[in-house]
Amino acid sequence: MSTKTTFEDRLLAELRHEIGLREAAAPAVAFVARRALVTRGRLVLAAGACAAAGLAVVLVPGSPADAPAYAVEQHDDGSVTLTIEDMSLAPDDQHRLAERLRAQGIHVAIDEVPAGEQCAQPRGELLPSYFEGHSAGKPRSAEGGQGAPEGVTVLKGTFKTTLNPGDSLAFENTKESQGAKSGLRLASVYAVSGEIAACEPVRMEPHP
């Protein structure tokens, strides 16, 4: 497994660093991705920067939408096309989706990663994926656990990929802020050809 730090790794490190500063600085700024057709590689969003790839990283609120939006389309050749319209899927919803995909012969890994860490990459050959990110708009009050905290604009997006039986889908969930008014987490999703390697949490190097 290569440990070489890539340009995309540095961008992701910058994103995590910026999120870590949210409790000390206000108001928070929006992280907005432009539309991107992704192929093989990694997608990292940092301060509005976007790199073509197959890994989508978004900042989502601690309280997900009431109705998770995703679709699983099965094809005659046994493959399935997965579309996740709401990247703020809570872990429970991720597990429900995992049950459906596993019934189609697809491996699913759902990992909880400590703040400031990520699963060591690569975990396999990334499959071609499509991701379109956008700002969720004006944040709602954090009172009652609804929406994002005041001053925080949340990035949401649509993720789409096609998997064959034996391929893998991965979710990485990182709780980036522990404050009662913060509760933000970093959600990553990507698809891998074949069975995915186990997650080995590693410390994300700070962006210089």
The average pLDDT across 72-84 equals 95
Which residues are bridge partners to 37 per DSSP?
A: 130
| pLDDT tens per residue across span 153-170 | 445 678 899 999 999 999
Where b means 16+ CB within 10 Å and e means fewer, 34-52 reads eebebeebbbbbbeeebbe
pLDDT at 48 over 90: no
Task: Give the burial class of 71: count Cβ atoms within 10 A of its Cβ; 0-12 exposed, 13-18 middle, 19 or more buried.
Answer: exposed
pTM recorded for the entire structure: 0.65
pLDDT at 145 over 80: no
Lowest mean pLDDT among 71-80, 124-133, 141-150, 156-165: 141-150
How much is the pLDDT for 163?
Answer: 98
| pLDDT tens per residue across span 85-138 | 876 777 888 999 999 999 999 999 999 998 888 899 999 999 998 877 655 444
Lowest mean pLDDT among 46-50, 73-77, 187-191: 46-50
Mean pLDDT of the chain: 68
